[in-house]
């Protein structure tokens, strides 16, 4: 993935088994439960590039969130602020080598930023 690519999409769900069946049957997604990511099954599209998670709504997520890969979250957040957007969630670690942040654009749309590894392998 490169700077500006959509790298991950979270789809909050209330029932993991039902969601795994639905998205697996609908799109052919491979959906796996990884150790350390309890209550957050990860999906991978057939192209093996795009993917995301099915976080439980009890994790606080209530809407679909797209993650855009960036070279530097710090630089991207500075650009968000400089161009009329606002930061909803500052940079936070996902793993030792990956981070995320959430922002709103000037129209109130929420997107997330991603820096680091591009797979859950």
Alpha-carbon distance of 3 to 115, in angstroms, equals 9
Farthest-apart Cα atoms in the chain, separation: 43
pTM assigned to the model: 0.82
Q: What is the pLDDT of residues 49-100, one digit of tens each?
A: 778 899 988 888 889 999 999 999 999 999 999 999 999 999 999 999 999 9
Domains (ranges, CATH) in the chain? 6-116 (3.10.180.10)
Check residue 110 and report its DSSP letter: E
């Amino acid at each position: 993935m490169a700077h500006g690519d959509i790298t991950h999409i979270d789809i909050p769900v209330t029932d993991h088994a039902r969601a795994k069946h639905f998205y697996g049957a609908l799109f052919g997604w491979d959906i796996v439960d990884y150790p350390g990511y309890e209550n957050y099954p990860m999906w991978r599209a057939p192209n093996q590039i795009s993917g995301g998670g099915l976080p439980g709504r009890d994790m606080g997520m209530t809407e679909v969130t797209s993650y855009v890969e960036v070279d530097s979250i710090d630089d991207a957040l500075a650009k968000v602020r400089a161009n009329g957007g606002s930061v909803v969630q500052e940079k936070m670690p996902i793993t030792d080598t990956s981070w995320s942040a959430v922002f709103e654009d000037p129209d109130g749309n929420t997107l997330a930023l991603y820096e680091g590894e591009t797979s859950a392998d």
